[in-house]
Copies of this chain bind each other. A is one copy, B any other.
Amino acid sequence: MARAGVTKDRVAEEAEQLADEVGLESVTLAAVAGRLGIKLPSLYKHIDSLGGLRATVGERATRELTEVMVRATAGKAGPDAVSALAHALRDWARAHPGRYAATIAAPRVSAGAEPGQVQAAEDAVGLIFDVLAGFGLGGDDAVDATRGLRAVLHGFVALEAAGGFGMPADVDRSFDRLVASYIRSLPAY
A188 touches B178 (CB 8 A): no
Interface residues of A in 18-77 (CB under 8 A from B): 25
Also in contact, A144 and B163, with CB within 8 A (given A184-B185, A185-B184): no
Interface size band for A: 35 or more
Q: How many copies does the complex hold?
A: 2
A177 touches B144 (CB 8 A): yes
CA distance A185 to B166 in the complex (A): 23
Residues of B within 8 A of A134 (CB): none
B181 touches A148 (CB 8 A): yes
B151 touches A155 (CB 8 A): yes
The one of B156, B164, B181 in contact with A188, judged by C-beta atoms closer than 8 angstroms, is B181
Residues of B within 8 A of A159 (CB): 104, 147, 150-151, 154
B104 touches A163 (CB 8 A): no
What string of 1s and 0s marks CB contacts (under 8 Å) between A145-189 and chain B? 001101111111011001111101111011001100110110011
CA distance A153 to B166 in the complex (A): 18
- A105 in the interface (beta carbon within 8 A): yes
Also in contact, A178 and B144, with CB within 8 A (given A108-B163, A162-B107, A163-B110): yes
CA distance A105 to B163 in the complex (A): 9
Instruction: Select the residue from A158, A168, A177 with max chain B CB neighbours within 10 A.
Output: A177
A165 touches B147 (CB 8 A): yes
- A109 in the interface (beta carbon within 8 A): yes
B148 touches A169 (CB 8 A): no
A contacts, CB < 8 Å to B: 25, 104-105, 107-110, 140, 143-144, 147-148, 150-156, 158-159, 162-166, 168-171, 173-174, 177-178, 181-182, 184-185, 188-189
Shortest Cβ-Cβ A-B pairs, 9 listed: A155-B155, A151-B155, A151-B156, A181-B185, A154-B155, A148-B178, A143-B169, A144-B174, A147-B174
